[in-house]
Every structure is written in C-alpha cells, then in structure tokens.
C-alpha cells in the first residue's frame, strides 16, 4: 500500500470521516475538520502506522495530505 | 507620646472649648500636648480619658480640599489622638482608640473597640475542607507557607499544635481593649468599624461595616478598603485593595491582592497578588496569584495558586451523604475553562488546563502541563501538551511582572519558575509512567486508564516525548545560567560546585508558592516541633532562608538528577556530556518556541476571523483590530528568544571549550 493510501486510512479512521473526503490536496484542519488535539493524534497515528518518529514542530506544521506524504516519505528515506 | 508628657487643660483652654460648643463631665480627664491649640476643637463631646496631641498642621487629601488639624463635631471616648490629626463629623463615637499622628477621620458612624479583642488574629477558619478538620488560625502576619503547613500537614499533630500555638501567641501579643489607627491613615464616609486594628497609611473610604479584624498597612504599602465593604473576622494584609461591596467573612486577604465588585469570601485565604471580583469563594486555600473575575464562578473547598478561573467555573464538595467533606487540589498554574466543573475530590497536576465537566475523581499530579478534557462525558488527559502553548509561556512571563507588593517585608515567599525541580521531578515520573502504560497497552485500546482518568493510547509515546523535550530544555536552562554566572576555571571546579548536603534532594514540594526540597522543609518542621521556633518573626525568617537557598538547591537537584535523565555515568560525567546537554537543550528549546508560535498563530488564522468585518472587509477589519501575526509583539518576543538560544549556546560552548 502506498504512503498516500496509508495516510488516507489513518485519517479516515481517526477523524471518523468518509474515505472519499480525503484527497491529496485536502487540508487536515480546514477540509477534514481536525481540531488541534486531533492534529496531535494524527501525528502520533502516522508515527505508529509507519513506525517512525517525527519532529513534533515540523510534523505539526504539515497542513495537507500531500505534504504529509512528502514529509513521511522523507523521514522514511532518512531511515 | 508618653503619658507623662501630656498636660492638663488650662482654665483658658476649657473656656475656649466650652465656647466652641464642647462638653465634658470631667474636664480633668482630658490631657493635651505642649502647644495645644483649643481653638482647633469645636462641637465635641469628651467622655472618659482623652489625650490630644498637637493640632497645628493640615492635610490636602486627594479631593484637594485642605483639612486643618483639629477635632470638629465629634464624640470621643477613651481615645488618644496623635499630632496633627483631623477628626470631623463623627455621628456615633470614636471609642477606645489609639489614633496615631497625621490621621484623618471624617464623616464616619462609629469606630469603637468593645472589650478585649485580638482584632481577627487567631480567628479559626475552616479552610479547604468546609466540614472542618483543617482549621487555620489566621493572623495579619500569616504567610502562605505557614498556612500551607498548618492546613495540609494534619498528619503531624505535633507540628499543627506548635503552629497553632505560634498563631495564638501572636494573637495574644496584639490583644487589647484599644484599637490602633496607624499613622497617616485616612478614614472617611464610613459607617461602623468595631474592633478593627488599622495599620499605617491605610485608606478606608465608604466602608459599610467592619467587625473583628486587622487591616495591615504600611507607609510603603498602603491598604485600601472601599465603598460598601462588609467584613467580619478578617485579616487584610499590606497593600491589598478591597472595594465595591466585597463581603468577607472569616477570611484572609493577602498582600497586594485586589478584591471587589461584590466578590464574597467565606472561610477562605487568598494570599498575595490574588484577585477576586464578582465571584464567590468558600473554604478555599488560595495561594499566591489565585484569580477569579467572573460573576458566575464559584470556587469551593479547593486549593489553588497561580490560578485563573474561567467564567462559570464550579466544583462540588458535597455528595449528600455525610456533608460537605470533599476537597480538591489544583496545583500551581492551573486554569479552568468557561463553565468547567470538577467533582471533588480530584487533584490536578501543575500548569494544567481543565475544560469541560468532570464527574470522575482523578489524580493527575504526576502529569504537569496537561490538558484535562471532557470527551463524551469521560474525563481525558493529554499529558505535557500545555507546556507547548502560548498561554503557559505568557503566564510564566507575566506573574513576576505583576507582583503588586511594594513593602520590603513581604510575607509570602514565592519562586515563580515554571520549570523547576518540582515540575522536573513530576515530568521524569510522568514520562516513565507514560512509557510503562504504552508498553502494557493493547494496540486495539483507544484509551488507557490511570489514576481515575483516561489517556489516549496513541498519545502515550507522544506525550512522553513532550516531557522529554521540556526536561531537556529545563536542564539546559539551568546549565547555561550556571556557566554564564559562575566563574569556573575548569571542569573540576565546575563539578566541585555540587553541594555536598542533601538539602536540595528529592522530593521537591510547592509550599504554596515556595518551591523547595522536602529535606529542607523537614528540617524546619523538626525545629518547630522541638520548640526552637516560637514566634511568627522567627518562622518567617526560616521561610526566607529556604527561599534564598532556591538556586543552590536547584543546582544540587539538577546535578543529582542529570546523569539519569541523559543516560550518563554519574561517576564520570565529562565535558562532552555537558556539550550533549547543551545541544539537546538547543533543539528542544527551538522546538518549544516553534510549537508555541504555531499555537499563537492560530489566533490569526481561519475561523478566528469570524465576526470581523460585519458588513464586509473581514481581513481589513481583522488587521485593523488585531494586527498581523508577523508584527505581533509576542511573535517578535519568540524571535528574540530564538536568537538568544543561539547566542547562549555559543557562549556556553566557548566556556566549555576552555575546560
């Protein structure tokens, strides 16, 4: 499964939204309705999903699904 | 002036007094100072023994109308009046009073002392637990620290007995059948003041009714009691400002506190720099900086400090079983959101934000800087998150700048630090607990339960990292300050600065504003119980000594704890280890600032603009009212802090490089 699909799955499950609402350009807060606490939970869920650890401040600065894909791919690539 | 220095009235003086409408059954009981001017007294009835000082000066109060020293239209009974006082329009009596020099009393009902009294000193109040069991004898010199030990250390009966004896001794020392009105005090447009001692330089204006109390005041810390205030069995400490229909019953108001706007307090202490407006407090232990401003807020049976109550904040201390027996503790720095509710008993860790209604009883004291939320009726915890909010950072910066106390002999000993060994030890424990909970939780679990509250499993590792970051910042802060302020020539001398005594060792406690190590407190408690401390002055000096040792004890704790936190070998810490501490400090400090900035930026984004630009021009209206984020003062402060981190790091590494 691609990084994008895995991110979509996490977002759908955590934010309890329909899968088709999650697009590459979707913004987690404005479009998907994540509040500040859910934003933190998303970061934690991505960490668990990909078994990685992300910089808190940099991760929280990610606004869209596609940016999350890039961010996580970069973390994965850096090993 | 001593009694011997007074002179009897001359026949000529009596003649002038009579001519001016004065009356006395026994003119011989009136004595006056040398140079007494009888033309300065008119329309006055003298009863009992009356002593009058020189009456040849004048006042110009704030209303700008000059008052000449003198006594006009007054009824005096057993009073001593100092030099240059102005007393006029006393509808009732001034009775059994020692009025010091330069006092103005104008248009009042009665100020009287009836029988022997301790003026509210030694009065016992049911603080914290409304049903009793934690009684505190309040005095005008009771500090937050003394009150804390008396109220909270009830397991130590010998200690409580000794502290009560010290309070009683103080009450006895001020016991008198005459009330003093201190030098330079102004009392005007007041109704009845009975058995009340007033310190120097106080202003009482429009007071409705005061009974059995002390108003401590000083020329460098004037206390104000104003319009419509009603108080009984009370203590008001130096520099406090009580006004606008406040009602105090069995309560102590601390130095520099502000009370007003129909606020009411019963069986309550509110120590220095507290603020109470509109709301109601009952049986609360308000440590320094306890603040409640809203009409619908009730604080009951709780302990607070550095606290801000949201509107409609409420708690229950009663379960309709054995009475109002429950109590709660919000450790320093907590705040409650609008309409939040807590069902006591609960204890909330320091610097936490409480939102929503909580019917569970929980203890989050090992999780400072947390969010206590309500999620579908359940109480949930997000540990550590509140450390990275703009609110906590702003609070930490503002408290020291808002110290309203102007007297040099401050009672409450306060350590303002947000990060300290107290919060440090909690974070170390909290971090370990979170990782243990994570290790034992099933991946299918949404929540884990701990000490009565739920924590999202997903956040356990994240929140433990928050504590890690905060700890790295704290240890680095201390190290940077130490390197900058102490002239160590080499690593050996640096390491040798580790105090040999165990005074700074764990655990650390927050004695209502005074952060200190328990070993130090225990030493004090033993001295109290051994009878080595017998009066308030000595006790106060001991608290001041503990306060002055904070930095040394903090350093001791940091050096004791640092190896375990950073994974170093305690027996051979090296310069490289310290460099590693500094590097981690830089990273965590910058992360903190970034996260705080993101939190602050939310105040300028998206939905917060709703309501701006009522008929269009939303962004322009928002910019005109709120400005833009980049030029915001706080944002600029954050930028400066970032620069400071880099320069502090360079400076600290340069010092280490010389070792």
CATH of the domain at A13: 1.10.1200.10
Strand partners, B508: B517
Residue A31 has pLDDT above 90, yes or no: yes
Q: What is the reported pLDDT for A22?
A: 94
CB B368 within 8 A of CB B426: yes
B3 has pLDDT over 60: no
Mean pLDDT in residue range B35-52:
96
pLDDT beyond 60 at B554: yes
With cut-offs at 50, 70 and 90, classify the pLDDT of residue B502: confident
User: Across all residues in chain B, what is the average pLDDT?
Assistant: 95
Over residues B66-78, mean pLDDT: 96
B456, B594, B598: residue with CB nearest A41 = B456
Q: Are B22 and B47 in contact (CB under 8 A)?
A: no
Q: Which residues of B touch A41 (CB under 8 A)?
A: 456, 458-459
What is the pLDDT at residue B324?
Answer: 86
pLDDT tens for residues B417-459? 999 999 999 999 999 999 999 999 999 999 999 999 999 999 9
Q: How many CB atoms lie within 10 A of CB B346?
A: 26
pLDDT at residue B145 greater than cutoff 90: yes
Q: How many domains does chain A have?
A: 1
Q: For the full predicted model, state whether its pTM sits above 0.80.
A: yes
Enclosing domain of residue B616: 575-657
ipTM surpasses 0.90 = yes
* Shared domain check, B459 and B604: no
Whether the pLDDT of residue A79 is over 80: the answer is no
**pLDDT of res. B439:** 96
Find the residue in A nearest to B595 (Cα): A57
| Average pLDDT score over residue span A46-58 | 92
Q: Is B26 on the interface with A (CB under 8 A)?
A: no
Most A CBs within 10 A among B458, B465, B603, B604, hence the mutation to make, goes to: B458
Contact B598 A56 (CB under 8 A): no
Q: Where are the beta strands (DSSP E) in B244-360?
A: 247-253, 258-260, 264-270, 275-277, 280-282, 285-286, 290-292, 298-300, 302-304, 307-309, 314-316, 328-330, 335-336, 341-343, 347-348, 353-354, 357-358
What are the catalytic residues of A? 35
CA dist B167 and B58 (Å) reads 40
- Are B232 and B249 a contacting pair, CB within 8 Å? yes
Do A44 and B465 make contact, defined as CB atoms within 8 angstroms?
Answer: no
How is residue B459 annotated by DSSP? H
Range list of β-strands (E), B433-472: 447-450, 453-456
User: In whole numbers, what is the pLDDT of chain A averaged over residues?
Assistant: 93
Task: Give B353's strand partners.
Answer: B335, B371
Task: Give Cβ neighbours of residue B149 (< 8 Å, ≥ 6 apart).
Answer: B159, B163, B511, B525
Question: DSSP H helical segments within chain A, as ranges?
Answer: 3-15, 36-50, 56-60, 65-78
**Residue B272 CA: distances (Å) to CA of B287, B288, B351:** 7, 5, 19
Evaluate whether residue B445 is within a structural domain: yes
* Domain total of chain B: 3
Neighbours of B415 (CB within 10 A): 18
Report, in angstroms and rounded to the nearest whole number, the Rg of chain A calculated over CA atoms: 11
Question: Could A40 and B598 be called an inter-chain contact, meaning their C-beta atoms sit closer than 8 Å?
Answer: no
For B378, phi then psi, to 5°, come to: -100, 145
Q: Are B481 and B579 found together in one domain?
A: no
CA-to-CA separations, B75 to B13, B20, B72, in angstroms, rounded: 18, 14, 9
Whether the pLDDT of residue A9 is over 90: the answer is yes
Asked if residue B69 has pLDDT above 70, the reply is yes
Distance from CA of A37 to the nearest CA of B (A): 9
Residues B444 and B582 in one domain: no
Using an 8 Å CB-CB cutoff, list chain B residues near A57: 590-591, 594-595, 598
Confidence of residue A74 (pLDDT cuts 50, 70, 90): very high
| DSSP secondary structure letter of residue B147 | H
CA-nearest residue to A10 within chain B is: B458
d(CA B608, CA B588): 29
B476 in the same domain as B346 = yes
Confidence of residue B4 (pLDDT cuts 50, 70, 90): low
Q: Which residues of B touch A34 (CB under 8 A)?
A: none
Among the three residues B97, B112, B127, which one is the final residue of a domain in this structure?
B112
- B465 and A56 within 8 Å at the Cβ level: the answer is yes
Q: What is the CATH number of the domain that holds B92?
A: 2.160.10
Nearest 5°: phi and psi at B557? -65, -40
Q: How far apart are CA B458 and CA B447, in angstroms?
A: 8
Closest partner residue to A57 among B456, B459, B591, by Cβ? B591
> How many whole angstroms separate alpha carbon B105 and alpha carbon B89?
8
Q: Same structural domain for residues B471 and B352?
A: yes
Across B344-370, average pLDDT = 97
Distance CA B649, CA B643 (A): 10
Range of the domain at A24: 3-78
Contact B595 A41 (CB under 8 A): no
How confident is the model over A29-54, as a mean pLDDT? 92
CA distance, residue A20 to nearest chain B CA (Å): 24
Q: Which residues of A touch B595 (CB under 8 A)?
A: 56-57, 60
Residues 6+ apart with CB under 8 A from B169: B534, B535, B536
Stretch B630-659: mean pLDDT: 93
B1 band by pLDDT with thresholds 50, 70 and 90: low
- The last residue of a domain, from among B81, B112, B143: B112
Q: What pLDDT is stored for residue B63 in this prediction? A: 82
């Amino acid at each position: 499964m691609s990084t994008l699909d895995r991110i979509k799955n996490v977002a759908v499950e955590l934010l309890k939204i329909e899968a088709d609402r999650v697009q590459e350009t979707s913004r987690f807060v404005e479009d998907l309705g994540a509040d500040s606490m859910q934003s933190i939970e998303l970061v934690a869920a991505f960490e668990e999903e990909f078994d990685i650890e992300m910089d808190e401040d940099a991760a929280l600065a990610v606004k869209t699904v596609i940016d999350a894909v890039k961010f996580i791919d970069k973390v994965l690539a850096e090993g | 002036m001593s009694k011997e220095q007074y002179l009897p009235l001359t026949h000529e003086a009596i003649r002038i007094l009579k001519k001016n409408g004065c009356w006395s059954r026994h003119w011989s009981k009136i004595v006056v100072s040398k140079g007494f001017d009888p033309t300065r007294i008119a329309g006055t009835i003298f009863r009992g023994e009356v002593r009058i000082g020189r009456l040849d000066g004048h006042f110009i109060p704030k209303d700008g109308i000059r008052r000449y020293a003198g006594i006009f239209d007054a009824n005096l009974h057993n009073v001593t009046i100092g030099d240059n006082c102005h007393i006029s329009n006393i509808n009732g009596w001034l009775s059994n009073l020692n009025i010091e020099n330069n006092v103005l009393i104008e248009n009042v009902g009665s100020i009287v002392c009836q029988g022997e009294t301790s003026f509210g000193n030694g009065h016992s109040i049911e603080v914290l637990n409304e049903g009793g069991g934690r009684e505190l004898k309040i005095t005008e010199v009771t500090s937050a620290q003394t009150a804390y030990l008396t109220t909270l250390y009830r397991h130590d009966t010998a200690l409580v007995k000794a502290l009560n004896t010290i309070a009683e001794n103080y009450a006895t020392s001020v016991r008198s059948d005459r009330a003093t009105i201190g030098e330079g005090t102004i009392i005007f447009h007041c109704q009845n003041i009975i058995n009340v001692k007033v310190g120097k330089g106080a202003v009482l204006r429009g007071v409705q009714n005061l009974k059995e109390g002390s108003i401590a005041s000083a020329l460098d810390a004037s206390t104000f009691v104003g319009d419509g205030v009603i108080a009984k069995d009370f203590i008001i400490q130096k520099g406090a400002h009580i006004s606008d229909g406040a009602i105090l019953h069995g309560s102590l108001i601390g130095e520099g506190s502000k009370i007003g706007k129909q606020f009411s307090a019963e069986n309550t202490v509110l120590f220095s720099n507290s603020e109470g407006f509109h709301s109601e407090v009952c049986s609360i232990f308000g440590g320094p900086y306890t603040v409640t401003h809203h009409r619908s807020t009730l604080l009951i049976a709780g302990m607070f400090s550095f606290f801000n109550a949201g509107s409609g904040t409420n708690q229950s201390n009663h379960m309709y079983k054995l009475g109002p027996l429950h109590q709660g503790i919000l450790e320093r720095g907590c705040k409650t959101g609008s309409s939040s509710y807590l069902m006591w008993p609960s204890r909330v860790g320091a610097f936490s934000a409480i939102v929503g209604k909580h019917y569970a009883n929980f203890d989050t004291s090992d999780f400072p800087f947390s969010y206590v939320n309500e999620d579908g009726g359940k109480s949930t915890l997000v540990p550590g998150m509140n450390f990275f909010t703009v609110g906590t950072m702003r609070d930490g910066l503002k408290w020291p700048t808002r110290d309203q106390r102007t007297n040099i002999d401050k009672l409450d000993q306060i350590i303002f630090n947000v990060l300290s060994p107290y919060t440090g030890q909690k974070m170390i424990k909290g971090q370990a607990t979170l990782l243990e909970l994570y290790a034992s939780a099933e991946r299918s679990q949404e929540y884990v339960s701990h000490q009565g509250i739920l924590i999202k499993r997903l956040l356990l590792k994240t929140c433990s990292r928050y504590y890690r970051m905060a700890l790295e910042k704290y240890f680095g802060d201390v190290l940077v300050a130490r390197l900058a302020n102490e002239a160590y020539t080499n690593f050996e001398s640096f390491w040798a600065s580790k105090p040999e005594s165990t005074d700074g060792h764990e655990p650390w406690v927050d004695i209502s504003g005074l952060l200190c190590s328990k070993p130090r407190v225990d030493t004090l408690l033993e001295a109290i119980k051994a009878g080595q401390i017998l009066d308030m002055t000595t006790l106060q000096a001991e608290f001041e000594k503990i306060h002055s040792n904070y930095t040394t004890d903090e350093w001791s704790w940091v050096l004791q704890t640092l190896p375990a936190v950073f994974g170093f070998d305690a027996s051979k810490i090296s310069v490289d280890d310290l460099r590693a501490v500094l590097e981690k400090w830089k990273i965590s400090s910058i992360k903190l600032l970034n996260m705080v900035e993101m939190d602050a930026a939310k105040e300028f984004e998206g939905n917060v603009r709703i309501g701006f630009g009522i008929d269009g021009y939303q962004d322009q209206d928002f910019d005109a009212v709120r400005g833009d984020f980049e030029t915001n003062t706080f944002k600029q402060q954050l930028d400066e802090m970032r620069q400071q981190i880099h320069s502090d790091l360079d400076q600290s590494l340069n010092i280490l490089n010389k070792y």
